[in-house]
Amino acid sequence: MVEYPNDSTPLVRTWFEDDDAWQRLLTEAVTRAHERDEYADIAIIDDPDAARLSPSDLTALHRVPTGHSLVIVADRRAMTEDGHPLLVLRADGASPPEEMRAAADQIALLEINVALLANLDWEDFATHVGPDGVFRGFG
């Protein structure tokens, strides 16, 4: 059974066909964010059992009292497309959960603002999703 270790925002791997793609995604989402001094509170979940879970299942496993809870999903699309467009789920109890895609290099910015500081909210990011359905920044 998939378990999230704490109240951190989980980054859940759900596609297990390409370990190199997973490492590239992590580099883009986590390492590069640290190089920009962006430190999101993300817990990496690399459990093959997650491959069987729906977005509703993934969000049901992660409920924190703040109401600003997110689950980030590294699915097949995130692993295979340029920019690694991760699936971001709003874990606020809605079923099915609200979702958007965000480029891996934007995940720290999104997580810090929506889940931790609440400086910006979900809608601030969702309204800047591009024509390809992916948030790639505010610029």
Q: In the chain, helix, strand, coil percent, each to 5?
A: 35, 20, 40
Looking up residue 111, the CATH number of its domain turns out to be 3.40.50.800
Structural domain total, the chain: 1
Q: DSSP string of 47-94? A: -GGGGG--HHHHHHT---TTS--EEEEE-HHHHHSTT-EEEEEE-SS-
133 located within any domain: no
- What integer pLDDT is reported at residue 68 of this predicted model? 57
pLDDT under 50: residue ranges of the chain: none
User: pLDDT tens for residues 63-77?
Assistant: 665 555 899 999 999
137 located within any domain: no
106 located within any domain: yes
Residues near 43 by Cβ (< 8 Å), separated by ≥ 6?
4, 5, 6, 8, 9, 10, 11
124 located within any domain: yes
- What integer pLDDT is reported at residue 61 of this predicted model? 83
4 located within any domain: no
- What integer pLDDT is reported at residue 8 of this predicted model? 85
- What integer pLDDT is reported at residue 67 of this predicted model? 53
What is the spatial distance between Cα 100 and Cα 86, in angstroms, rounded to a whole number? 8
- What integer pLDDT is reported at residue 80 of this predicted model? 97
